[in-house]
Amino acid sequence: MKKTVVTLLALAFTAGNACSAFAAGPAGFARGLTDSSSVSYISEKDKIIPPFAQVLFCAQNPAECRDNNGLAVIALTDKQMLQLKDVNTAVNRTMIGRNDSRSELNGDVWKVNVRSGDCEDFALTKRSRLIAMGWSSRALRIATAYTPSGEGHAVLVVRTDKGDLVLDNRKSTIKNWRETDLRWDKIQSGTDPYVWYRL
């Protein structure tokens, strides 16, 4: 395991960090879409090198990156939808948005359960809170994307029987991934946090 982490760190570092600070940006239009069926899931393509900061985050916070062997798709009940809304709203209201300092790992350090942070810190905190409430880690994945202004961004994607839902720190509403303004980049595997896919 240690050798795998070191190898991934080296690969991610040499590839550069395509998903730098992931600050939020204004609204726009979505790409990377599948067909227009009523239930829609993000379509994964080939494997891709994970974000360097995410590899470091998992190495430093292994409990946050552990697979809890739950369901990959959640049957979304009214109660669970309310939990999603409550967590999304609470984290968006209580965390203070701020970009990482350029002196911190080239401006990209992933953190969880902090008082302030940038978009991946919001996404990781939402994921952590939902897992603490009994949600399956396999259905809660971090995805990276670009806002219409071209800024890197990160969100939490929740896989449900109603489709992939997006919890975004820029928005109070939870949307189907096709209804967002994001141009999708890559997404984490549900079963292995060190595996990411191009979108």
Return the pLDDT at 99: 77
Q: Give tens-digit pLDDT for 144-160.
A: 999 999 999 999 999 99
Judged by DSSP in three states, 130 sits in helix
Return the pLDDT at 97: 84
Tokens of residue 173, six digits: 């509403």
166-180 average pLDDT score: 95
Please, which pLDDT band fits residue 193 given cuts at 50, 70 and 90? confident
Segment holding 168, helix H or strand E: none
* 179 closest CA partner among 29, 75, 39: 29
pTM of the model: 0.81
14 near 50, Cβ under 8 Å? no
Question: How many CB atoms sit inside 10 A of residue 43's CB?
Answer: 14
Lowest-confidence pick of 11-25, 52-66, 159-173:
11-25
